[in-house]
Amino acid sequence: MKMLNVALPKGRLGEKVYAMFETAGFECHSIKENNRKLIFENEECGVRYFWVKPSDVAIYVERGAADIGVCGKDILLEYSPDVYELYDLDIGKCRMAVAAKKDFTDDVKRTLKVATKFTNIAKNYYDSLGRDIDIIHLNGSIEIAPILGLSDVIVDIVETGTTLKENDLEVVETIVPISARLIANKASFKFKSELIEKIIRSMENQND
C-alpha cells in the first residue's frame, strides 16, 4: 500500500488541519499523545504525518519529502514553490497588510522604507504600484521598526490587529487576504491522485 506523507504546520493551525484529515478518514491517534515525537504513522490508513515549522511545509512538499501539506498563502506568495495549490481550507484566515504609525502620511517624493519578513511580497506589491522602496529584511518584532524610525511602514501578517494597536500602529492598506492552503508535490500527485482527491472532497464537504 502506498503511504501518503503529510506535512502539517506545527501549532494551533496544524491541530485544526489534522482534525480535518481525521474526519476525512485519515486518523492517526498517536499524534494526540503528549510527547516530542515529530513523525506519526498509521499503516492501516496508509498515512504518515509530520510536524514541521509552518514556513518549511512548502519546502518539504516541493522537494517530495511530503506528498501533500498545509501552509499559509503568505508562504506560497513569498517563496513561489513549484507545487499544486489544490484547496483553500478557509481556516487560519488573516491578511497581509501595510501598517504604519497612526500619524503616518506617505511622502511620495521620498523612497519608502519598508521593514518586513516577506521581502518578495512587499517588493511585488510596491512594484505593481511603481513605488520606489528600500526593503529592510527583519526576522521578527517587525512592529517596532516604524516606532524606532528604522522604517516608514511594515508589511506583515495581521490577524486581529491587537499587536498593531498595542504598538500604536494601524493598517494602511491590505495587500492580500491569507488563509491555509492544501498543497501537493506535482510528481506525487500523478501517482497518488485518487487518495489526494478523496481528501479534498472530504474537506469540501466539511467546509460546506
Considering only 24-32, 80-88, 126-134, 166-174, which stretch makes contact with other proteins by CB under 8 A? 80-88
Question: Binder to other proteins among 56, 85, 170, 173 (CB under 8 A)?
Answer: 85
Q: How far is CA 22 from CA 35, 73, 140, 198, in A?
A: 19, 23, 33, 13
- Of 41 and 85, which CB lies nearer to other proteins in the complex structure? 85
Stretch that binds other proteins, among 33-41, 45-53, 118-126, 183-191 (CB under 8 A): 183-191
Contact residues for 122 (Cβ-Cβ < 8 A; gap 6+): 114, 116, 133, 135, 155
Q: Which is nearer to other proteins, 48 or 164 (CB)?
A: 48
- Quick one: which segment of 33-41, 85-93, 109-117, 144-152 binds other proteins (CB under 8 A)? 85-93
Neighbours of 154 (CB within 10 A): 29
In whole angstroms, how close is the CB of 63 to other proteins at the nearest point?
A: 6
- Looking at the DSSP assignment, which residues form a beta bridge with residue 174? 97
Contact (Cβ atoms closer than 8 angstroms) between residue 164 and residue 99: yes
Task: State which of residues 134, 186, 201, 207 lies at the interface with other proteins (CB under 8 A).
Answer: 186
Region 113-172 residues binding other proteins, contact defined as CB under 8 A: none
β-pairing, 84-88 with 180-184? antiparallel
Cell 512587499 maps to which residue?
Answer: 122
**Smallest distance, other proteins to C-beta of residue 59, A:** 11
Integer distance in angstroms from the first to the last C-alpha of the chain? 31
Residue span binding other proteins (CB under 8 A) among the ranges 12-20, 49-57, 93-101, 184-192: 184-192
Is there binding between residue 44 and other proteins (CB under 8 A)? no
Query: How many chain residues interact with other proteins (CB under 8 A)?
Result: 18
What CA–CA distance (Å, rounded) separates 46 from 49? 10
Selection from 153, 132, 135 nearest residue 143 by Cα: 153
Considering the rule CB under 8 A, would residue 194 count as an interface residue with other proteins? Answer: no
Within 10 angstroms of residue 23's Cβ, the number of other Cβ atoms is 13
Three-state DSSP at 114 gives strand
Contact at 8 Å (CB) between 84 and 183? yes
Residue choice 15, 27, 56, 88 for contact with other proteins (CB under 8 A): 88
User: Is residue 11 at the binding interface for other proteins, with CB under 8 A as the rule?
Assistant: no
- Residues contributing to the site for other proteins (CB under 8 A): 62-65, 82-88, 185-191
